[in-house]
């Protein structure tokens, strides 16, 4: 052994110069190769040569970061690159990419360096996200990084926010209807009237009473966000790891390794899973099948020959004990029957709704009476139909009898419009069956003759008909009283009874009367916001349009009567007719300028929404709210009708925003 070592050193001494040259040559070659490797990293496509990352590369190419080279975010030190080169040459490298993006890269100059100075940004529809709050403070005992929320693969995109991460942090380990930070940390306080499945619901009185969101929104998330052991084994092949507490695990994987949360955790879905049913209660757990027909009427099912039509109260998930809170009226089959209180209608809605319940009860009795009358006449026909063997007639007449029993036992007030339809259909079923047998049909009572009558008789006779209401599709206030009372137009001219409050008309249908028809109106009657902007009479001290000052009327540009049009090609022709060819180009310039004003206005609206929520001074808050309404009105009116006025309104809005 000594001789071998001695011979080795003798060999080194004898051939030291050639060996040294070879070592230096190999070192130079290695450094040169390493340098080429480093330079190649400036070209993103080169990463795909070694790593299986074509999807990442394609996502990067189509992302907003496609002008940023890989090394700008994925920083590698020379030593790391050297080790990587050695691993590549020896075939010991891992082809699966795992590149960390550190916060310093994201916040570096030329990138998102001002993110913590201007931390609040809008996210989704109504969420204002504060980067400083999440980056500089520990959240649930953990230090978050940029890539905790922004990571590579999100629905085919690159470095964007995955909202599932938000849900995981805010809902994991919380109780039903609860969230870390509370609902209002993301959602605005619902002080306005909300529309839900056809109902207009005002949160304000409930908030004043001190109700919390979870009192009504019982469950708003599904999933536990747990971590299965199999997830650990996908990385830790050896299966044996030191047991660590939650904080330490997150420090290693989230803060240190920048791993996405969903690499380990199961997803939590955030949505309204269960709403309160007027403070709950399951009647069938006590009453068995006693109220089966009442439930069917309430759900709008069980009637033969009639499509399902649930009560709006059922759709809004109001349970039996939401209304039945009164005294015990008696017992049936050993089970208590509890009275419905009109006061519950008033508490949730208004005094008029208490009156409406009385109307429903009265009309319900009338509906039952009419249906029983048809059933009695139908029984006479049923015997004849069975005798003659006319199966279709037998089926129809049996349907009448079954539906009459359903109504009698189900109480029509539980779903008055469905009950009305059952009674109306009974007459139709009888008439068809009578036709099979050569008998005369029964005349339909007046109160069942038209769906139009249900609007007033069943509801709006007590509630009243709304006055002027803002119709989004028209962009203006619609005067109900003028059309309903003065002109006598039926409700069904604009609304469909089958779908409560749903408009079935299109704005173009108004033009038949109002554009050159029998009820022609001044443009300003309907196009209120547009006319106000044109004349400089919008909320704010705006100059009128030059066209307005020159006494150019709407019809001079848009045409008259049935020829009225907003088609820019036709308007362009009228510009040239009044002036010359160059005014056609002027219109195009105005339209382009209007589009730019609209973009600027939409951005301003977004900023106003963010800032208004944060202002504590009530006067400043009111000013910003008025400014937001003005800008919104300008955009609704189309800025092209008064570009100078629109630009002045935006300038005033930007001034108010910055407290200048």
Evaluate whether 650 touches 603 at the Cβ level (below 8 Å): no
The H or E element containing residue 471 is strand 468-471
CA distances from 337 to 101, 279, 287, 558 (A): 66, 19, 9, 66
**pLDDT category of residue 280 using cuts at 50, 70 and 90:** very low
Distance of CA 588 to the CA centre of its chain: 35
196-200, 248-252, 269-273, 373-377 — which is least confidently predicted? 196-200
Evaluate whether 96 touches 52 at the Cβ level (below 8 Å): yes
Cβ contacts of 241 within 8 Å, gap of 6 or more: 232
**pLDDT category of residue 531 using cuts at 50, 70 and 90:** confident
pLDDT, tens digit (0-9, with 9 covering 90-100), for 540-583: 578 888 888 888 888 888 877 655 667 788 888 888 888 888 88
Evaluate whether 593 touches 641 at the Cβ level (below 8 Å): no
How is residue 458 annotated by DSSP?
I
Higher pLDDT, 155 or 47: 47
Strand partners, 473: none
- Check pLDDT > 80 for residue 49: no
Is pTM beyond 0.75? Reply is no
Separation CA 609–CA 530 (nearest Å): 23
Long-range contacts of 156-160 (CB under 8 A, 24+ apart): 156/59, 157/59, 157/62, 157/63, 158/56, 158/59, 158/60, 158/62, 158/63, 158/65, 159/63, 159/65, 159/101, 160/63
**pLDDT category of residue 499 using cuts at 50, 70 and 90:** low
Here the tokens at position 55 are 């999807």
Q: Other CB atoms closer than 10 Å to residue 460's CB: what's the count? A: 17
How is residue 581 annotated by DSSP?
T
Separation CA 578–CA 559 (nearest Å): 13
Separation CA 559–CA 338 (nearest Å): 65
**pLDDT category of residue 287 using cuts at 50, 70 and 90:** very low
- What ranges make up the beta strands (E) of 328-373? 328-332, 335-338
The H or E element containing residue 271 is strand 269-275
Residue 536 three-state SS: coil
CA distances from 188 to 124, 127, 213 (A): 12, 8, 12
160-164, 221-225, 365-369, 414-418 — which is least confidently predicted? 160-164
Give the helix ranges, DSSP H, for 258-305: 284-287, 292-299
Separation CA 313–CA 299 (nearest Å): 9
Evaluate whether 386 touches 360 at the Cβ level (below 8 Å): no
Here the tokens at position 235 are 């990385």
Evaluate whether 121 touches 129 at the Cβ level (below 8 Å): yes
Here the tokens at position 389 are 């063997």
Q: Of all residues in the chain, what percent carry a pLDDT higher than 70?
A: 77
Q: Other CB atoms closer than 10 Å to residue 302's CB: what's the count? A: 18
**3-class SS shares of the chain: helix, strand, coil, % to 5:** 55, 10, 35
- Check pLDDT > 60 for residue 257: yes
Average pLDDT, rounded, for the chain: 78
Q: Other CB atoms closer than 10 Å to residue 331's CB: what's the count? A: 9
Evaluate whether 174 touches 180 at the Cβ level (below 8 Å): yes
Rounded to an integer, the average pLDDT of 512-534 is 73
Give the helix ranges, DSSP H, for 41-77: 47-50, 54-61, 70-73
Closest residue by Cα to residue 413 from 285, 324, 290:
324
210-219, 350-359, 403-412, 539-548 — which is least confidently predicted? 210-219
Cβ contacts of 512 within 8 Å, gap of 6 or more: none
Name the range with the highest mean pLDDT among 202-211, 350-359, 607-616.
350-359
Strand partners, 202: 193
Higher pLDDT, 146 or 560: 146
- Check pLDDT > 80 for residue 225: yes
Residue 604 has phi, psi (to 5 degrees) of -65, -40
Strand partners, 122: 128
pLDDT value at position 472? 57
Number of H helices and number of E strands within the chain?
A: 32, 12
Closest residue by Cα to residue 356 from 241, 464, 428:
464
CA distances from 4 to 1, 10, 11, 395, 638 (A): 5, 10, 10, 110, 95
Distance of CA 354 to the CA centre of its chain: 33
Rounded to an integer, the average pLDDT of 43-49 is 75
Give the helix ranges, DSSP H, for 468-567: 480-481, 507-514, 523-526, 528-535, 546-549, 554-558
Evaluate whether 85 touches 33 at the Cβ level (below 8 Å): yes
pLDDT value at position 155? 47
The H or E element containing residue 377 is helix 351-388
Residue with tokens 């909202």: 163
Residue 272 three-state SS: strand
pLDDT, tens digit (0-9, with 9 covering 90-100), for 424-448: 999 999 999 999 999 999 998 888 8
Compute the residue count for the chain: 660
């Amino acid at each position: 052994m000594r001789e071998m070592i001695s011979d080795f050193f003798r060999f080194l001494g004898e051939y030291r110069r050639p060996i040294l040259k070879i070592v230096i040559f190999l070192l130079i070659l290695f450094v040169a190769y390493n340098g080429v490797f480093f330079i190649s990293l400036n070209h993103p496509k080169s990463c795909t040569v070694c790593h299986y990352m074509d999807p990442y590369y394609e996502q990067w190419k189509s992302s907003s970061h496609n002008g940023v080279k890989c090394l700008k975010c994925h920083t590698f030190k020379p030593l790391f690159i050297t080790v990587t080169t050695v691993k590549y040459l020896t075939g010991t490298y891992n082809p699966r990419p795992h590149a960390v993006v550190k916060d310093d890269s994201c916040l570096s100059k030329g990138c998102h360096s001002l993110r913590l100075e201007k931390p609040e940004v809008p996210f989704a529809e109504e969420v204002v996200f504060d980067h400083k709050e999440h980056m500089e403070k520990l959240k649930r005992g953990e230090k978050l990084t940029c890539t905790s929320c922004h990571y590579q693969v999100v629905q085919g995109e690159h470095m964007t926010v995955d909202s599932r991460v938000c849900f995981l942090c805010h809902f994991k380990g919380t109780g039903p209807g609860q969230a870390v930070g509370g609902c209002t940390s993301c959602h605005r306080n619902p002080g306005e009237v909300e529309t839900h499945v056809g109902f207009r619901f005002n949160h304000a009185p409930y908030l004043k009473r001190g109700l919390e969101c979870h009192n009504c929104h019982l469950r708003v998330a599904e999933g536990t966000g747990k971590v299965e052991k199999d997830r650990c084994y996908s990385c830790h092949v050896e299966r044996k790891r030191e047991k660590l507490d939650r904080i330490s695990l997150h420090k290693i994987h989230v803060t240190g390794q920048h791993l996405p949360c969903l690499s380990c955790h199961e997803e939590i879905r955030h949505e309204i899973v269960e709403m309160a049913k007027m403070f709950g209660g399951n009647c069938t757990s006590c009453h068995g099948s006693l109220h089966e027909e009442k439930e069917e009427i309430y759900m709008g099912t069980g009637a033969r020959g009639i499509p399902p039509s649930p009560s709006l109260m059922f759709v809004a998930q109001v349970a039996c004990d939401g209304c039945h809170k009164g005294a015990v009226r008696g017992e049936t089959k050993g089970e208590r029957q509890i009275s419905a209180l009109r006061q519950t209608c008033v508490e949730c809605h208004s005094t008029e709704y208490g009156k409406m319940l009385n109307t429903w009860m009265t009309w319900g009795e009338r509906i039952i009476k009419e249906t029983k009358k048809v059933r009695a006449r139908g029984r006479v026909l049923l015997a004849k139909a069975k005798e003659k063997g006319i199966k279709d007639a037998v089926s129809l007449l049996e349907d009448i009898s079954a539906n009459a029993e359903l109504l009698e036992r189900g109480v029509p007030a539980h779903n008055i419009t469905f009950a009305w339809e059952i009674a109306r259909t009974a007459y139709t079923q009888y008439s068809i069956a009578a036709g099979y047998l050569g008998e005369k049909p029964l005349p339909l009572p007046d109160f069942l003759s038209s769906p139009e009558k249900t609007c007033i008789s069943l509801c709006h006779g007590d509630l009243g008909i709304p006055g002027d209401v803002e119709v989004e599709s028209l962009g203006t206030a619609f005067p109900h009283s003028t059309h309903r009372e003065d002109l006598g137009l039926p409700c069904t001219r604009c609304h469909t009874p089958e779908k409560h409050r749903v408009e079935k008309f299109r704005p173009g249908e108004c033009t038949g009367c109002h554009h050159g028809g029998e009820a022609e109106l001044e443009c300003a009657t309907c196009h209120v916001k547009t006319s106000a902007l044109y004349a400089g009479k919008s909320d704010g001290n705006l100059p009128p349009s030059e066209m307005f000052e020159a006494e150019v009327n709407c019809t001079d540009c848009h045409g008259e009567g049935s020829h009225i049009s907003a088609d820019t090609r036709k308007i362009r022709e009228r510009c040239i007719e009044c002036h010359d060819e160059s005014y056609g180009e002027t219109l195009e310039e105005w339209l382009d300028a209007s589009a730019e004003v609209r973009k600027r206005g939409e951005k301003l609206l977004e900023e106003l929404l963010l800032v208004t929520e944060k202002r504590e001074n009530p006067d400043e808050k009111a000013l910003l709210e008025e400014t937001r309404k003005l800008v919104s009105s300008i955009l609704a009116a189309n800025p092209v009708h008064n570009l100078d006025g629109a630009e002045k309104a935006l300038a005033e809005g930007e001034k108010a925003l910055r407290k200048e």
